[in-house]
Amino acid sequence: MAHIGRRGLLAGVAGALAAGTVTTASAAPGPAPAPGAAFRGMWVASVANVDWPSTVGLSAAEQEAELVSLLDTAVRRRLNAVVLQVRPTADAMWPSALEPWSQWLTGRQGGDPGWDPLGTAVARAHERGLELHAWFNPYRVANHTNASLLVPEHPARLHPDWVVPYGGKLYYNPGLPQVRAFVQKAMLDAVRRYPLDAVHWDDYFYPYPVEGQYFDDDEAFAAHGADFASRADWRRHNIDALVREMGAAIQATRPGVRFGVSPFAVWRGDDVDPLGSATRAGLGTYDDLYADTRRWVREGWLDYVAPQLYWHIGHPQCDYETLVDWWSQTVRGTSVDLLIGEALYRCDPDSPTAAWRDPAELSRHLTVAARYPQVRGHVHFSAKQVVADRNGAMAEVVADHYPTRVPPR
């Protein structure tokens, strides 16, 4: 799946390795909703210091300055939302009592950075008229398989039976009800503390398949899977339950906070399911990640879905417009907003793919998407590329589609 790109970027990089707390109770909420306005977001990845902080071990003041600079860049690019990764590997970018401080801040898991990054991010974003969507990864524990490298008080060390090594990483086992309850509690801690605009998940549920590797959930399946026709059905049930329960818990905790997921863009191909898309991606969320993303939309368990449409217009296996059309049909008649995840990181003058060398490719994406009334906006991966804009693609998007600032919804 070399064409996925973003997943490879995060996995590959992850393999290598003003002081003071801000009080957010009085922070103003995000921009007021405006019907018909377009969502314009950017992802800020913290895992492996992909976007922010630029490296581990910066001072609190340096980390905050970098964060504020990214928010100011979003304003200059006439964006209106930032999707900030705050729980990359079963850790926290806020002072959580349930999980350790993220290693991507100080270089040491559990190391206090001397400030409250999430609390500061919410306050600074709202000051600039930006929404702040807190991006959590539910089940990834570590980008290695050595549990002894985790801090002694880490829940994965206190409960080793919760963890499954797979593909060179550690994951919480989605098949255990106690795990599902814990990861929800860990994420809801941030919802309870801060006036977030949304809770955001990416594309990791059960891990992406790794050839020759086995995700050993035999004991959990034996204990909890008796009522299901297959292990695949049971796994999908586990992820369905996580999504359904989390959506309800967010509203119970802080009404008005939205819930969005950014899945891999192919649910199933129409070669295996007539309801699927006319694509041949080599995998799909339903069969390979056990994430029935179509159902989540049709059941209304989400407020928005932001599929990662990281292919160019005319791609022979996964054409951009084919997927925009499929997702538009999927959300039609539901209350779920459709946002499109855009591959700004692929826009490169040295790209091996001619389409991505063309600075106008990304702007054409937004032109295509504008033909579909179900598309409510776009999210660009990622902040580093919004800043660098290596071939001028982001500048073209701004010039062609973002003439003035607008509220996100």
pLDDT at 321: 98
pLDDT of residue 12 exceeding 60, the answer is no
Chain centroid, CA 363 distance in Å: 22
In angstroms, how far apart are the furthest CA atoms of the chain? 57
Cα–Cα nearest to 206, from 297, 266, 286: 286
pLDDT of residue 4 exceeding 70, the answer is no
pLDDT at 339: 98
pLDDT of residue 7 exceeding 60, the answer is no
Is 142 within 8 Å of 169 (Cβ atoms)? yes
Q: How does pLDDT run across 116-157, given as a tens digit for each residue?
A: 999 999 999 999 999 999 999 999 999 999 999 999 999 999
What secondary structure does DSSP assign to 266-293, as a single string?
-S-BTTT-TTSBS---S--IIIII---H
Q: How does pLDDT run across 275-300, given as a tens digit for each residue?
A: 999 999 999 999 999 999 999 999 99
Strand order, beta sheet including 169-172: 140-142, 169-172, 163-166
In the numeric block, which tokens belong to residue 245?
Answer: 């329960």
Locate tokens 């800043």: which residue? 387
Model confidence, pTM: 0.92
What secondary structure does DSSP assign to 329-379, as a single string?
HHHTTSS-EEEEEE-GGG--TT-SSHHHHSTTHHHHHHHHHTT-TTEEEEE
pLDDT at 11: 40
Percent of the chain with pLDDT strictly greater than 90: 90
pLDDT of residue 374 exceeding 50, the answer is yes
Measured CA to CA in angstroms, residue 26 lies from 193, 196, 220 at distances of 11, 12, 44
Is 110 within 8 Å of 175 (Cβ atoms)? no
- DSSP code of residue 20: B
Is 39 within 8 Å of 408 (Cβ atoms)? yes
- How far apart CA 151 and CA 91 sit, in angstroms, is 11
pLDDT at 301: 98
3-state secondary structure 256-269: CCEEEECCECCCCE
Q: How does pLDDT run across 193-245, given as a tens digit for each residue?
A: 999 999 999 999 999 999 999 999 999 999 999 999 999 999 999 999 999 99
- How far apart CA 210 and CA 319 sit, in angstroms, is 25
Buried b / exposed e over 364-374, threshold 16 CB at 10 Å, is bbbebbeebeb
- How far apart CA 389 and CA 105 sit, in angstroms, is 25
Is 132 within 8 Å of 126 (Cβ atoms)? yes
Phi, psi of 380, deg, nearest 5: -105, 130
Q: How does pLDDT run across 40-99, given as a tens digit for each residue?
A: 999 999 999 999 999 999 999 999 999 999 999 999 999 999 999 999 999 999 999 999
pLDDT at 409: 72
- How far apart CA 157 and CA 150 sit, in angstroms, is 7
Count the alpha carbons within 13 Å of 376 in the hemisphere toward its beta carbon: 23
In the numeric block, which tokens belong to residue 386?
Answer: 């919004």
Lowest pLDDT segment from 5-9, 59-63, 203-207, 335-339? 5-9
pLDDT of residue 106 exceeding 50, the answer is yes
